[in-house]
């Protein structure tokens, strides 16, 4: 039986429960796959970065959006993933850096996720005891501890200002990070990241519409009430942190593949805030919103970089007078977060939902 008439709960909960959704998903996927053959390479790299950021944002959304546990420590977990992957696939003969020479993508990707997930599990007991601002401050502490460790553990990270090569993506002998005969490096990376985003996005959607997802939402809405109706709050907070960190680890491992280089100074509070901005702008507690937010925030610098040409008082370097593009970016993040929180708490996805509802209700208002 098709259509609205639900004869099983499975049908009621289906990911693509209407024909319209099925069609538009197909159209979207086809369009995304066709893009690398249309766009310039540099833009493809930005998009690929955005896809990876989206994986990370999905992770943050699981713990902050779905489970309601505010985490400022996302940068820490991204770093763990990045260094696990970089170390695993690093050159084993290097005297300067730790390296194991395992360049197979599935291996180091999974390892990066698992190590970060483990770190998340270790942090989780804190979350079981703390809530709201207190939890935010503790996770903030993580970032500073991490920053300190990574800056000084030169064997792993290469040290401040030097850094180390990022993980080498290779799958069944296919190298992604070099130009090939048929595809350029950018095209290959774009497609790889797109496929990974789809995989991790679908996994996350399946997680949040399951028993676990409902339990997380119950914890978010009121942990006491959740406990009363039989949700093991500690257990689900741990699951939320573990899964979220796993996603962060995966994103961290992939994030530096595009530039090919990891610098320990980049895993700071600003990075965490960037991810918070992604989910707030995109839409809290939605997977599609995370993707939208990641795309938006990652593409934003591309736009601000065009500003000096339009606005004379904005300069592209810090030596010149006036305000720099980087400052404009920082201001925009702030304004966007404030604006969305006040005017559209459901984010970009909320705007989309509103448009969709408008046309769905046509010609009535509801």
Partner 1 sequence: MSTVTAGTRLATIATRVRERARTTPDVIALREKDLGLWQQVSWSAYWDTATLVGHALLALGIEPGDRVAIHSENRREWLYTDVGTVAVRAATVGLYPTNPVAEVAYLLRHSGSRVLVAEDQEQVDKALAVADELPDLEHIVYLEPRGIRNRYDDPRLLAWPDFLALGQQHRAAHPAAVDERMDQARPDDVATLVYTSGTTGPPKGVMLTVANVDFAIRELVERGGFTGAPPSPKDSVLSYLPLCHVAERVFSCWFGAGAGVCVHFAESIETVAGNLHEVQPTILFGVPRIWEKIAAGVQIRIASAGPLKRSAGGFWLRRADWIGDVLAANGGRHTVASRLVHAVGYLVCYRALLDRVGLRKVRYAASGAAPIAPEVLRFFMGLGLPMHEVYGMTENSAVATANRPGRVKVGTVGEPHDRAEIRIDELTGEILTRHDGTFAGYWHDPEATARVIDPDGWLHTGDVGEWVDGTHLRITDRMKDLIITAGGKNIAPSEIENALKASPYVKEAVVIGDGRKYLTALIGIEPDTVGHWAQQRRLPYSTYRDLSSKQEVIALVQGVVDEVNERFATVEQVKTFRLLPKLLEHEDGELTATQKVKRSAVASAYEELVESMYRVGAR
| Chain residues that interact with partner 1, rule: CB under 8 A | 1, 3-9, 12, 358, 361-366
**For partner 1, the closer CB: 210 or 357:** 357
Quote the least distance from Cβ 339 to partner 1, whole Å. Answer: 24
Distance of alpha carbon 169 from alpha carbon 246, whole angstroms: 18
Give the shortest CB-3-to-partner 1 separation in angstroms: 7
Nearer to partner 1, 12 or 155 (CB): 12
Q: Is 83 exposed, middle or buried (0-12, 13-18, 19+ CB in 10 A)?
A: buried
From the CB of 365, what's the least distance to partner 1, in Å?
A: 4
Instruction: Give the separation between CA 258 and CA 190, rounded to whole angstroms.
Output: 9
- Smallest distance, Å, CB 12 to partner 1? 7
Please, what sign has the CA dihedral across residues 361, 210, 197, 53? positive
**Phi then psi dihedrals of residue 282, to 5 deg:** -75, -50
Of the two residues 317 and 365, which places its CB atom closer to partner 1 in the complex? 365
Q: Which is nearer to partner 1, 172 or 364 (CB)?
A: 364
H/E stretch holding 171 reads strand 170-171
How far apart CA 227 and CA 365 sit, in angstroms, is 39
| Between 144 and 358, CB nearer to partner 1 | 358
Give the separation between CA 4 and CA 25, rounded to whole angstroms.
Answer: 19
Residue 291 CB, nearest approach to partner 1 (Å): 29
Min dist CB 360 to partner 1, Å, is: 9
User: How many whole angstroms separate alpha carbon 70 and alpha carbon 220?
Assistant: 10
Which residue, 5 or 342, has its beta carbon nearer to partner 1? 5
> 6 or 16, CB closer to partner 1?
6
Of 171, 148, 137, 27, the closest CA to residue 79 belongs to 148
Contact 164, 82 (CB under 8 A): no
DSSP element (H, E) containing 175: strand 174-175
Ramachandran class of 132: left when φ > 0, alpha when ψ lies in -120 to 50, beta otherwise: left
CB of 356 to partner 1, least distance (A): 13
């Amino acid at each position: 039986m098709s259509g609205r008439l639900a004869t099983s709960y499975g049908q009621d909960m289906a990911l693509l429960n209407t024909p319209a959704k099925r069609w538009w998903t197909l159209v979207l996927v086809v369009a995304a796959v066709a893009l690398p053959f249309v766009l310039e390479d540099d833009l493809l790299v930005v998009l690929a970065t955005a896809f990876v950021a989206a994986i990370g944002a999905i992770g943050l959304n699981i713990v902050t959006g779905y489970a309601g546990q505010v985490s400022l420590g996302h940068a820490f977990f991204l770093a763990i993933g990045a260094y696990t992957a970089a170390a695993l696939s690093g050159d084993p003969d290097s005297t300067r850096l730790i390296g194991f020479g395992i360049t197979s993508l599935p291996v180091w990707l999974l390892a990066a996720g698992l190590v970060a997930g483990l770190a998340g599990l270790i942090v989780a007991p804190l979350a079981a005891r703390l809530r709201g601002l207190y939890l935010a401050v503790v996770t903030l502490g993580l970032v500073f501890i991490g920053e300190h460790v990574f800056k000084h553990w030169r064997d792993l990270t290469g040290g401040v200002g030097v850094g180390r090569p990022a993980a080498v993506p290779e799958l069944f002998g296919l190298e992604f990070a070099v130009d090939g005969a048929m595809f350029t490096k950018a095209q290959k990376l774009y497609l790889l990241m797109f496929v990974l985003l789809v995989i991790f996005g679908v996994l996350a959607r399946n997680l949040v519409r399951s028993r676990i997802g409902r339990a997380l939402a119950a914890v978010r809405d009121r942990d006491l009430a959740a406990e009363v109706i039989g949700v093991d709050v500690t257990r689900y907070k741990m699951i939320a942190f573990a899964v979220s960190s796993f996603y962060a680890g995966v994103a961290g491992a992939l994030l530096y593949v595009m530039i090919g280089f990891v610098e320990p100074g980049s895993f700071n509070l600003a990075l965490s805030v960037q991810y918070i901005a992604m989910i707030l702008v995109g839409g809290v507690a939605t997977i599609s919103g995370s993707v939208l937010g990641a795309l938006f925030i990652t593409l934003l610098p591309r736009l601000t970089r065009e500003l000096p040409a339009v606005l004379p008082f904005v300069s592209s370097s810090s030596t010149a007078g006036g305000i720099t593009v980087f400052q404009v970016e920082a201001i925009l993040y702030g304004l966007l977060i404030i604006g969305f929180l006040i005017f559209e708490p459901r984010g970009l996805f909320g705007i989309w939902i509103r448009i969709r509802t408008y046309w769905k209700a046509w010609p009535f208002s509801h």
